[in-house]
A and B are shown apart, each in its own frame.
Chain A
Amino acid sequence: MVLNKEQLTALDQKLTLELRRGMLTLAVLGALRSPSYGYALKQRLAGRHLEIDQGTLYPLLRRLEADGLLTSEWIVDGSRPRKYYRLSPDGEKTLKALRAKWKSLVGVVEALLDETTQGTADDEETQGETK
Chain B
Amino acid sequence: MKHHWIDRYISEVARHLPKNQRGEVQRELESTLLDELEDRHGPDATEDDVLGVLKEMGSPSKVAESYRPSNQYLIGPEWYPIFRKVLLTVLSIHVGLLVLACAVSLFWPGASVEPGQAILYFLNAALESATFAFGIILLIFFLLERSGAVEEKPKEVWDPASLPESPAPGDLVGKGESILALSLVAIFLALLQIFRDSIGIPFTGAEELPFNDTYKKYLPWISFALVLDMAVYAWLFWRGRWEWFSRACHFAFDLFGLGVLFMLIQEVAIEWSSRLQIHLPDLATKFDSRQLYWIPISAAVVLAIEHGRVLWRARRKERRGISTL
The reply to whether B39 and A55 contact each other, CB–CB distance below 8 Å, is: no
Q: A55-B58, A58-B28 are in contact. Are A39 and B66 (CB under 8 A)?
A: no
Question: Which of A55, A74, A80, A83 makes the CB contact (< 8 A) with B63?
Answer: A55
Q: Nearest residue in B to A59 (C-beta to C-beta)?
A: B66
Given contacts A54-B57, A55-B62, contact A62 B67 (CB under 8 A): yes
From B27, B35, B58, B63, A39 is in contact (CB under 8 Å) with B35
Query: What distance in Å separates the Cβ of A61 from its nearest Cβ neighbour in chain B?
Result: 9
> A residues 38-91 with Cβ under 8 Å of B?
38-40, 43, 54-56, 58-59, 62, 74, 80-83
CB–CB B66/A58 < 8 A: yes
Within the complex, the shortest CB–CB distance from A10 to chain B, in Å, comes to 21
Max chain B Cβ within 10 angstroms of own Cβ: one of A38, A43, A54, A56: A54
- Alpha-carbon distance A82/B32, docked complex (angstroms): 8
Give the contacting residue for B27; candidates A40, A56, A81; CB below 8 A.
A81
Are B39's CB and A39's CB within 8 A?
yes
The reply to whether the CB of B124 lies closer than 8 angstroms to some CB of chain A is no
Give Cα A47–Cα B66 distance, bound, in whole angstroms: 24
> Helix, strand, loop or mixed for chain A's interface?
helix
Interface size class of B (residues with CB under 8 A): 10 to 19
Within the complex, which residue of A37, A55, A81 is in contact with B66, where a contact is CB–CB below 8 Å? A55
Query: In whole angstroms, how far apart are the Cα atoms of A118 and B24 in the complex?
Result: 54
Chain B interface SS verdict (over half): helix
Chain A positions within 8 Å of B29 at CB level = 58
Max count, chain A CB within 10 A of own CB: residue among B35, B36, B67: B35
Assess A38 versus B63: contact at CB under 8 Å? Given A55-B58, A81-B27. no
Cα of A55 to Cα of B62 in the assembled complex, Å: 8
Chain A residues, Cβ within 8 Å of B36: 39
B31 sits at the interface (CB 8 A): yes
**In the complex, which residues of chain B have a beta carbon less than 8 angstroms from the beta carbon of A81?**
27, 31
User: Residues of B contacting A82 with CB < 8 Å?
Assistant: 31, 35
Contacts of A59 in B (CB 8 A): 66-67
Beyond A58-B67, A59-B66, whether A43 also contacts B31 by CB under 8 A is no
Contacts of B67 in A (CB 8 A): 58-59, 62
In contact, B66 and A80 (Cβ under 8 angstroms) = no
Q: Is the CB of B62 within 8 A of A37?
A: no
Residues 14-69 (chain B) with a chain A CB within 8 angstroms: 27-29, 31-32, 34-36, 39, 57-58, 62-63, 66-67
CA distance A58 to B33 in the complex (A): 12
* Interchain CA distance A74-B23 in the complex, whole Å: 13
Q: Which of A40, A54, A74, A80 contacts B34 (CB 8 A)?
A: A80
Q: In the complex, which residue of chain B has the Cβ closest to the Cβ of A38? A: B32
**Shortest Cβ distance from residue A49 to the other chain B in the assembled complex, whole angstroms:** 18
Which residue in chain A gives the minimum CB-CB distance to B63?
A: A55
Which of chain A's residues 3-49 have a Cβ closer than 8 Å to chain B?
37-40, 43
Take A43-B39, A55-B63, A56-B66 as given contacts and tell me if A38 and B28 are in contact as well, using a CB distance cutoff of 8 Å: yes
A55 to B29, CA, bound (A): 11
Taking CB atoms, residues of chain B closer than 8 Å to A56 are: 66
| A82 CB, min distance to chain B CBs, angstroms | 5
B64 CB to closest chain A CB (Å) equals 10
Q: Give the distance in Å from the alpha carbon of A47 to the alpha carbon of B138 in the complex.
A: 50
Distance between Cα atoms of A82 and B67 in the complex (Å):
18
Contact A83–B66 (Cβ < 8 Å): no
In the complex, besides A59-B67, A83-B27, 13 extra interface pairs with C-beta distance below 8 angstroms are A37-B35, A38-B28, A39-B36, A39-B39, A54-B32, A54-B57, A54-B63, A55-B62, A58-B28, A58-B66, A62-B67, A80-B34, A83-B31
Query: Lowest 8 CB-CB distances: which A-B pairs, in order?
Result: A39-B35, A55-B66, A59-B66, A83-B28, A39-B32, A82-B31, A38-B32, A59-B67
17 pairs from A and B in contact (CB 8 Å cutoff): A38-B28, A39-B35, A43-B39, A55-B58, A55-B63, A58-B28, A58-B29, A58-B32, A58-B66, A59-B67, A62-B67, A74-B27, A80-B31, A80-B34, A82-B31, A82-B35, A83-B27
